[in-house]
Amino acid sequence: MSRATKKTKKKRSTAKRASTKLSRPQWTLPAGYMASGKKMANLREVVDPETPTMNLSQLSDKQRLDLVAKRIEMQPDFQIAMLGAGLIDQKRAIQEVKNGTPIGRNLAEIEERLLNHVIETAKKQKS
């Protein structure tokens, strides 16, 4: 293997690892609920085996929608483009989610998928 090939491989593997590292704000965003179901839990709490939390699948629809709305609310630069709905800013996204509209449900599904990925990534980072 040539020296250039080794360098390229090293750069690729470093770039791949960097892309899976979570940003500092992700750790403080709500990522679930405490086991009581009354208080939201941040990502640190969700991945901590010593802290009793609920899985996303255990949440009620209201808890899931509240969790998504809170996550969007805590991201001041939140903006997403959706086919058929156009560009959705933070304020509109929160309203759509809280009102349980079809757009809000789609946003919740997107955020839940992202959250599942974030939780898995966080668990890998902690181990």
| pLDDT in the model for residue 24 | 85
Token digits for 52? 């009793």
| pLDDT in the model for residue 17 | 45
Residue type, 54: M
Rounded distance, CA 84 to CA 119, Å? 30
Token digits for 18? 């960097």
Residues, the chain: 127
Per-residue pLDDT 10s for the chain (127 aa) are: 555 555 545 444 444 444 568 888 899 999 999 999 999 999 999 999 999 999 899 999 999 999 999 999 999 899 999 998 899 999 999 999 999 999 999 999 999 999 999 999 999 887 7
Torsion, Cα 34 22 69 89, to 10 degrees, reads: 170
| pLDDT in the model for residue 125 | 87
Q: Biggest alpha carbon distance in the chain?
A: 59
Host H or E run for residue 29: none
Task: List the one residue out of 29, 28, 33, 38 whose CA is nearest residue 53.
Answer: 33
Exposed (0-12), middle (13-18) or buried (19+): which is 87, by Cβ within 10 Å?
exposed
The predicted model scores a pTM of: 0.79
